[in-house]
Amino acid sequence: MSAALLISDLGVSFGETTVLSGVNAEIRAGEFIGVFGPNGAGKTTLMRCLLGTLRPSQGTISIFGQGPVKASREIGYMPQGNVGFESTALSARALVHAAWRGEKWGVPWSTRESRAEVDRVLEITQASTYADRPFSVLSGGERQRVMLAQALLGQPKMLVLDEPLASLDPKNQALLIECIAEVKRAMNATILFVAHDMNPLLHVMDRVFYIAGGGALLGNIDQVVNSESLSHLYKFPIDVVRAHDRVFIVSREGNVTEAACCD
């Protein structure tokens, strides 16, 4: 299989601060990649590089053989966090519709083609039943399905999902993961799924992309998520504890889960 994403010697610095350096990765088309790492490790920074909104200080990124800016139409993106609209009655369907070829000039006409495409993506994420209700009254899980539908507009070959599980309860997390796995099977898209906890994704992801300590490690779960590899990456002693088919990453000193400190 051909490479969907090729990152070579990527580095990002803001002034004096180096966020990422020497990041290499080769992701094949159709892979489901879980992207993990402590807060502030550079997950969002890396995603911004892939989306072309941030220029890396060094190294190159190739997405289906193109640079990030050119490849932006191949990527469906689900940003982190929530959209507002608490005080408006704008429907979920209207929001998705606004994103359909939203980068074009002119007036946002509603055409037969645009309506069909919006129907299609809402159908895939099973959001059709509530798509006409105001976005502001939808539950967290429903909102995420709408945002996922939006990422599927125009049949992208790669999906970048930035913390879609944040602020969802465990039941809705599981439902959304099922939905995303379903989407992957239907579209055969390459998926980069950023998450805080890897446990909900253990059964669906193919490989792990772990970002910490200014670097990154890509590989099978067993290769990456073990005490030795992560301690090396964090530059700090880390223990990986497995219990009940689950993985827990704890700092060896201080007994803190998801060690945040690494500098």
**Binding flag, residue 129, another protein (CB under 8 A):** no
Q: What's CA 231's distance to the chain center, in Å? A: 24
Least Cβ distance, residue 113 to another protein (angstroms): 14
Q: Which is nearer to another protein, 4 or 233 (CB)?
A: 4
Residue among 113, 132, 169, 178 that touches another protein (CB under 8 A): 132
Q: Is 53 in the site for another protein (CB under 8 A)?
A: yes
Sole binder of another protein in the list 15, 84, 170, 254 (CB under 8 A): 84
Does residue 150 bind another protein (CB under 8 A)?
A: yes
Q: Which is nearer to another protein, 69 or 260 (CB)?
A: 69
Q: Give all strands (DSSP E) within the chain, no chain letters.
A: 3-14, 17-28, 32-36, 58-63, 75-78, 158-162, 190-194, 207-212, 215-219, 238-243, 246-251
What is the distance between the alpha carbons of residues 214 and 19, in angstroms, rounded to a whole number? 6
- Between 65 and 81, name the residue whose CB sits nearer to another protein: 81
At 37, list the tokens. 């790492």
Tell whether residue 69 is a contact of another protein (CB under 8 A): yes
207: burial class by Cβ within 10 Å (0-12, 13-18, 19+)?
Answer: middle
Please give the torsion angle defined by the CA atoms of residues 91, 143, 212 and 249, in that order, rounded to the nearest 10 degrees: 170
The least CB distance from residue 15 to another protein, in Å, is 19
Task: Tell me how far CA of residue 144 lies from CA of 127, 151, 181, in angstroms.
Answer: 10, 11, 14
d(CA 3, CA 143): 32
By CB under 8 A, is residue 83 in contact with another protein?
A: yes
Give the total of residues touching another protein (CB under 8 A).
38
Contacts with another protein, residue ranges (CB under 8 A): 51-53, 69, 72-73, 75, 77, 79, 83-85, 87-91, 93-95, 97-99, 101-108, 110, 132-134, 136-137, 150
